[in-house]
């Protein structure tokens, strides 16, 4: 498949002057729904990948191949530009290079590499730690080296603001910008003061995740360089809740016809692209009278 058009669309978002909310997606159907609803981009998080693929919590149990395979299933389902959270790149800087290669081939439009020490080391189960800024910078450089399509966006991600403080965050984002990343992903920021202090130190686009209520004003965010702001990953948990309630009702004897919150036949047909498959069936499997 050709991935150029969607990568160009995503770069247009980064170079624009507004801040958008991506649609949190986790499979082909959720990606199609987000695309049909007009989301400018989708987001496939590492946490949601672990839950979707493994049924496991966000403790970095997922492998690169499992993550890349699911990302590819999402990308091939439509034309939605996809951001993925590639966690720590599944190892050291050389592993990061393999991660970029696999995800670029999968068709993503943007990916983040973070400087959190992952998976948690022995003795740090209840605390989060960061790798050194030097190792983090090496990972960013390795990611850029491994990239083959210059249209693919590489984001340097850090949670330093909630682990080591704003001063360390500034040192890290400066270093990652100097390494050449296309943008910075700031995770866990809570206040406008912290955000503006960090944003003033860089001149590349910013993405926010896990931000506090003070950082919900997209106009304010856009004025300070933010172009992407996550809105949590509610679609996955909403889906889990809907499946649970439907199965529970069926188990307790409710008739299928009495479960009102199921997707309509029209909606199911649309997200399955039923019209396309019907046309292809007629064109290539039908009796043309020959």
Residue 243 CA to residue 262 CA, distance in Å, equals: 9
pLDDT value of residue 38: 98
Q: Identify whether 132 is part of a domain.
A: yes
Q: What is the pLDDT of residues 114-145, one digit of tens each?
A: 999 998 888 877 788 999 999 999 999 999 99
Tell me the CATH number at 82: 3.20.20.60
Q: Which domain holds residue 135?
A: 4-238
Q: Are 212 and 187 in contact (CB under 8 A)?
A: no
Query: 209 in a domain, yes or no?
Result: yes
Assess whether pLDDT exceeds 60 at residue 290. no
What tens digit of pLDDT does each residue of 12-51 get?
999 999 999 999 999 999 999 999 999 999 999 999 999 9
**The predicted structure's pLDDT at residue 288:** 66
Asked, for residue 252, whether it belongs to a domain, the answer is no
| pLDDT digit string, tens, across residues 167-200 | 999 999 999 999 999 999 999 999 999 999 999 9
Computed over every residue of the chain, the mean pLDDT equals: 95
The predicted pLDDT at position 122 comes to: 84
Over residues 210-233, the mean pLDDT reads 97
Q: Looking at per-residue confidence, does 289 or 199 come out higher?
A: 199
Q: Is residue 103 part of a domain?
A: yes
Residue 38 lies in a domain: yes
Which has more pLDDT, 262 or 163?
163
Q: What percent of the chain has pLDDT over 90?
A: 91
Domain total in the chain: 1
Give the mean pLDDT of 253-270: 91
Q: Which residues contact 112 (CB under 8 A, 6 or more apart)?
A: 83, 84, 85, 86, 155, 156, 157, 185, 207
Can you give the pLDDT at residue 169? 98
Asked whether the predicted pLDDT for residue 74 surpasses 80, the reply is: yes
Q: What is the mean pLDDT of residues 67-86?
A: 98
Q: Is 89 left (phi over 0), alpha (psi -120 to 50) or beta?
A: left
On whether residue 244 sits in a domain, the answer given is no
What's the pLDDT score for residue 157?
98
Residue 264 lies in a domain: no
The structure tokens 């170079």 sit at 15
Q: What mean pLDDT comes out for the span 94-103?
A: 98
Percent of the chain with pLDDT over 70: 99
In a domain, 60, yes or no: yes
What are the backbone dihedrals phi and psi of residue 98, each rounded to the nearest 5 degrees, phi first? -65, -40
Is residue 78 over pLDDT 90?
Answer: yes
> So what's the pLDDT on residue 121?
81
Say whether pLDDT at 289 is over 70.
Answer: no
Section 93-105 average pLDDT: 98
pLDDT for position 220: 98
Residue 257: Cβ-neighbour burial (10 angstroms; 0-12, 13-18, 19+): exposed
Rounded Cα distance between 219 and 229, Å, is 11
């Amino acid at each position: 498949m050709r991935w150029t058009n969607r990568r160009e669309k995503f770069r247009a978002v980064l170079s624009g002057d507004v801040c958008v909310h991506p649609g949190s997606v986790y499979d082909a159907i959720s990606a199609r729904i987000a695309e049909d609803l007009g989301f400018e981009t989708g987001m496939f998080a590492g946490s949601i990948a672990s839950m979707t693929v493994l049924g496991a919590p966000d403790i970095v149990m997922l492998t690169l191949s499992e993550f890349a395979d699911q990302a590819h299933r999402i990308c091939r389902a439509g034309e939605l530009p996809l951001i993925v959270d590639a966690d720590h790149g599944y190892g050291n800087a050389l592993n990061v290079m393999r991660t970029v290669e696999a995800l670029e081939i999968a068709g993503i439009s943007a990916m983040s590499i973070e400087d959190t020490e992952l998976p948690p080391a022995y003795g740090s189960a209840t605390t989060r730690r960061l790798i050194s800024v030097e190792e983090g910078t090496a990972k960013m450089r390795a990611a850029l080296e491994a990239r083959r399509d210059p249209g693919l966006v590489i984001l340097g991600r850090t949670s330093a603001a909630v682990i080591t403080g704003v001063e360390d965050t500034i040192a890290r984002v400066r270093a990652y910008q100097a390494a050449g990343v296309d943008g910075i992903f700031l995770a866990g920021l809570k206040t406008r003061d912290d955000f503006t202090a960090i944003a003033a130190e860089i001149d590349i686009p910013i993405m926010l995740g896990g931000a506090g209520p003070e950082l919900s004003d997209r106009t304010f965010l856009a004025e300070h360089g933010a172009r992407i702001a996550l809105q949590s990953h509610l679609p996955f948990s909403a889906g889990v809740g809907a499946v649970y309630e439907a199965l529970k009702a069926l188990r307790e004897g409710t008739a299928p016809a009495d479960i009102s919150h199921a997707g309509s036949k029209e909606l199911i047909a649309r997200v399955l692209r039923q019209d396309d498959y019907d046309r292809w069936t007629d064109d290539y499997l039908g009796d043309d009278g020959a």
